[in-house]
């Protein structure tokens, strides 16, 4: 860390400043991303675990409970996984992981064989260890497809991988998407109040998200629309949601208004940009308000 800080300091005295370092998807995982992916998301787990917010949430019990449930499948998120990448085509999702994976402890799970690989689990909760540092999880069909891509040895060249490279390397959580109509068709009801979200998703040509949790939460979300009408609708909808949120804050929890103060929505022609900046002290207050200390939820 000191070495990196020294390089930054020295760069300040140069005649030119180097370009900001950008995020890059691990090459091994990039080769496993399906060609028809419309939404690609990643978590730099090792960096996320080091953030103050993660440690605070972990101390309150919620993160630890999730990690314990994953550990029952042979994976210990607190130790084994360093990077997660999820890829969805709107109907199927595969989760790819880098880390340290050991077969020991998985013998009790259901097993099947495919192209010389063992697939553990069944149905939508299956996974395989492709090598000592790479694993894939999802439905049996999604895992088999990942094994096929690993055997082929060449990547899909999906454009979302290039889009991800434009995000800041300081992002512990990130996502990129394009033509999200497939997701809208599968996950958003056609009727009811939430049905309006279908049009918003279908009108969004691309979306990016980057979140840095090293000091509070600093996140940027951008959505590119296809025409002026769609951009106006998305901008007005987001501003309306923020306005309704402020009006719904209870009188005895007025500090929640600060959450909405930290969210800014801007429109730049066909692009909508949402900036989120929530300070540490506010997050501490929210954690205390909505979570329970882990010592209170543990049972003998």
As a whole number, mean pLDDT of residues 156-166 equals 87
Q: Which of 26-30, 80-84, 183-187 has the highest mean pLDDT?
A: 26-30
Helices (H) and strands (E) in the chain, counts: 13, 12
Interstrand relation of 271-278 and 217-225 (parallel, antiparallel or unpaired): antiparallel
| pLDDT confidence bin for 7, thresholds 50/70/90 | very low
- pLDDT on residue 101: 79
| Residue of 17 and 82 predicted with greater confidence | 82
Query: Hunting for tokens 């990039």 — which residue is that?
Result: 30
From CA 192, how far away is CA 194, in angstroms rounded?
6
- pLDDT on residue 175: 96
Q: Is 14 exposed, middle or buried (0-12, 13-18, 19+ CB in 10 A)?
A: exposed
If you average pLDDT over every residue of the chain, what do you get? 80
* Chain segment 57-109, per-residue pLDDT in tens: 777 665 555 555 455 444 555 567 899 999 999 888 999 999 987 766 666 67
From CA 282, how far away is CA 262, in angstroms rounded?
10
Closest to 229 measured CA to CA, from 281, 189, 267, 193 = 267
Percent residues over pLDDT 90 in the chain: 44
Q: Which of 5-9, 51-55, 82-86, 292-296 has the highest mean pLDDT?
A: 82-86
Q: Is 153 exposed, middle or buried (0-12, 13-18, 19+ CB in 10 A)?
A: exposed
Name every residue whose Cβ is closer than 8 Å to that of residue 142 and which is 6 or more positions away in sequence. 92, 93, 94, 126, 136
**Range name among 186-190, 198-202, 296-300 with the lowest pLDDT average:** 296-300
- pLDDT on residue 108: 64
As a whole number, mean pLDDT of residues 183-188 equals 74
Residue 168: DSSP 8-state: B
From CA 145, how far away is CA 138, in angstroms rounded?
10
Do the beta carbons of residue 175 and residue 145 sit within 8 Å? no
> Residue 76 to residues 102, 120, 266: CA-CA distances in angstroms?
11, 16, 40
| pLDDT confidence bin for 269, thresholds 50/70/90 | very high
């Amino acid at each position: 860390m000191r070495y990196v800080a020294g390089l930054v300091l020295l760069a300040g005295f140069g005649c030119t400043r180097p370009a900001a370092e950008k995020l890059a998807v691990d090459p091994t995982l990039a080769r496993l991303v399906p060609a028809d992916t419309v939404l690609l998301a990643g978590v730099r787990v090792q960096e996320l675990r080091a953030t103050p917010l993660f440690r605070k949430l972990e101390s309150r019990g919620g993160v630890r409970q999730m990690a314990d449930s994953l550990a029952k499948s042979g994976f210990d998120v607190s130790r084994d996984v360093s990077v997660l990448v999820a890829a969805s085509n709107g109907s199927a999702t595969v989760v790819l992981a880098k880390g340290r994976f050991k077969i020991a402890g998985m013998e009790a799970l259901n097993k099947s064989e495919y192209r010389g690989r063992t697939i553990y689990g069944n149905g939508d909760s299956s996974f395989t260890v492709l090598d000592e540092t790479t694993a894939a999880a999802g439905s049996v069909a999604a895992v088999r497809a990942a094994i096929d891509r690993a055997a082929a040895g060449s990547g899909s060249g999906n454009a979302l991988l290039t889009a991800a490279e434009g995000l800041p390397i300081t992002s512990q959580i990130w996502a990129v998407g394009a033509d999200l109509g497939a997701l809208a068709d599968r996950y958003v009801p056609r009727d009811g109040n939430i049905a309006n979200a279908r049009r918003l998703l279908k009108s969004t040509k691309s979306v990016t998200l980057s979140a840095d949790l090293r000091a509070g939460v600093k996140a940027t979300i951008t959505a590119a629309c296809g025409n002026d009408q769609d951009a106006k609708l998305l901008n007005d909808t987001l501003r309306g949601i923020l306005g309704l949120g402020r009006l719904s804050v209870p009188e005895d929890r007025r500090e929640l208004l600060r959450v909405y103060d930290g969210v800014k929505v801007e429109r730049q022609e066909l692009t909508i940009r949402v900036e989120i900046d929530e300070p540490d002290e506010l997050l501490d207050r929210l954690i205390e308000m909505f979570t329970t200390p882990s010592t209170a939820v543990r049972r003998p």
